[in-house]
Amino acid sequence: MPEGDAIFRAARTLHRALAGKEVTAFESVLPSVNRVNDDTPIVRRTIDRVHSRGKHLLMHFSGDLVLRTHMRMNGSWHIYRPGERWRRSRRDMRIVIATADFEAVGFNIPEAEFMPESEVARSAALRTLGPDVLTDDFDANKVIANLRERPDSPIAEALLNQHVLAGLGNIYKSEILFMCRINPLARVQELTAANVRSLVEESRRVLKLNVSEGRELMTTYGGLRGTTGRSDRTNRLWVYGRAGLPCRRCGTAIQMRKQGRDARSTYWCPQCQPAIPAGGF
């Protein structure tokens, strides 16, 4: 699943390519999207802005209309010049929004809906999201309060809960827990207040670093995610995807187990992230 940094970069790239431009062509294979287009055509509307909220991408059109998309596991938005060959098969196309200069193509998007601008704040998909880790008004104290409401939840599962913190995904979950030396199996109530604050602050720092300028490509998910600060793609992550390999800090074999309702993979170093005593958070 694309994480918050990937959605942020995709939205930024789409905004730079499309904002202020008039839609010259629109196509979709999604019936619910087409019904809105049939009633209130998208062609000739202006794209006002594109931005992300957590893992949701919002495209605002003139005339009080917003397209919300969520990528789930396999969806993506690409940008092409007119006539440029797509890098994915046409059978994977779900939405095409064209302007005179660019063509935005949504591939394998499983979740898409149009809504009036006035209803965005009340959207069932958006209104219960926790603070977005990449927004300028990010509220770390609200995230900490949200965690406090889930004392029995393993911290690795709590960090993935988008009602707690919007935008963090499975890769960063493991990486940030390692960087903060916190065992992923520890329950929230076992962590100290300092533990929790370090997780929240590190989550923001790392994701902000991974949306730095210069990462956009014509394929909007092309950026390489990294946490170690190393440029070599084989050394970009501390623990994720490295089960059985030696820890980059201490040499201990990295462990992996499935966690949570969706059985997401969690990676950690048992030496650097030992079980911790109750801290009374």
Would you name the residues annotated as active-site residues?
2-3, 55, 264
H runs (alpha helix) in 135-192: 140-148, 155-160, 170-179
DSSP letters, 59-88, are EEETTTEEEEEE-TTT-EEEEE-TTPPPSS
∠ Cα 198 143 73 (to 5°)? 95
Residues facing residue 257 across a β-bridge: 266
Q: How far apart are CA 133 and CA 279, in angstroms?
A: 25
Which DSSP category does 7 fall into? Answer: H
Task: Report the SS3 class of residue 13.
Answer: helix
Residues in the chain: 281
Contacts of 203 (CB under 8 A, 6+ apart): 133, 159, 165, 168, 172, 176
**What is the longest distance spanned by two Cα atoms in the chain?**
61
Radius of gyration of the chain (CA): 20
Q: How far apart are CA 7 and CA 39, in angstroms?
A: 29
Contacts of 257 (CB under 8 A, 6+ apart): 265, 266
